[in-house]
Structure 1
Amino acid sequence: MFRHILTATDGSDWAGKGVTKAIGLAAALKAKLTVVMASESYPDYLYAADLSPYAGTVFTPEQMETNRSAMQTHADEVLALVSEEARALGVHPRLLYVPNTHPAVAITEKAAEENADLIIIGSRGRRGITKLVLGSQAAEVLAGTQLPVMIIK
Structure 2
Amino acid sequence: MKILMALDPFGDSKKVLDEAVRQAKSLNAMLTILAVAETFRDTEHDYAGLSGANEALFTQVRRKADAVKLEAIKHGVPPTVIVEAGPSPAQNILDWAEEEDADLIVMGHREKKGLDRFLLGSVTAKVIAHAQCSVFVVR
Same fold flag (TM > 0.5): yes
- Alpha-carbon distance in structure 2 between the residues aligned to 1:132 and 1:100: 21
Structure 2 letter corresponding to 1:35: I
1:73 is matched with which residue? 59
Alpha-carbon shift at residue 129 of structure 1 (Å): 4.2
2:40 maps to 1:39: no
Count of residues in Structure 1 that have an aligned counterpart in Structure 2: 138
CA RMSD in angstroms comes to 2.3
Q: Alpha-carbon deviation of 1:15?
A: 4.5
Distance in 2 between residues matched to 1:113 and 1:132, nearest whole Å: 29
Larger radius of gyration between Structure 1 and Structure 2: 1
The CA distance in 2 between the partners of 1:69 and 1:40, in whole Å, is 11
Which of 109, 125, 129 matches 1:139?
Answer: 125
How many Å separate the matches in 2 of 1:4 and 1:64? 36
Structure-1-length-normalised TM-score: 0.78
In proportion to residue count, which structure has more strand? 2
Amino acid at match of 2:97: A
Corresponding residue of 2:111: 125
What residue ranges of structure 1 are gaps of 5+ in the alignment? 48-56
Look up the equivalent residue of 1:89 and give its one-letter code. H
8 Å contact from structure 1 (residues 6, 36) kept in 2: yes
Aligned to 1:105: 91
Instruction: Give the direction of change, closer, same or farther, for the CA distance of 1:73–1:119 in structure 2 (3 Å limit).
Output: same
Separation in structure 2 between the aligned mates of residue 129 and residue 109 of structure 1, nearest angstrom: 27
Pick aligned residue for 2:10 from 9, 12, 17: 12
Richer in helix (by share): 1
2: CA distance between counterparts of 1:41 and 1:125? 21
Aligned-pair identity (%)? 30
Q: Which amino acid aligns with 1:59?
A: Y
Q: Which residue of 1 aligns with 2:19?
A: 21
Deviates more, 1:97-106 or 1:34-43: 34-43
Matches of 1:138 and 1:65 in 2, distance apart? 27
| Unaligned stretches of 5+ residues in structure 2 | none
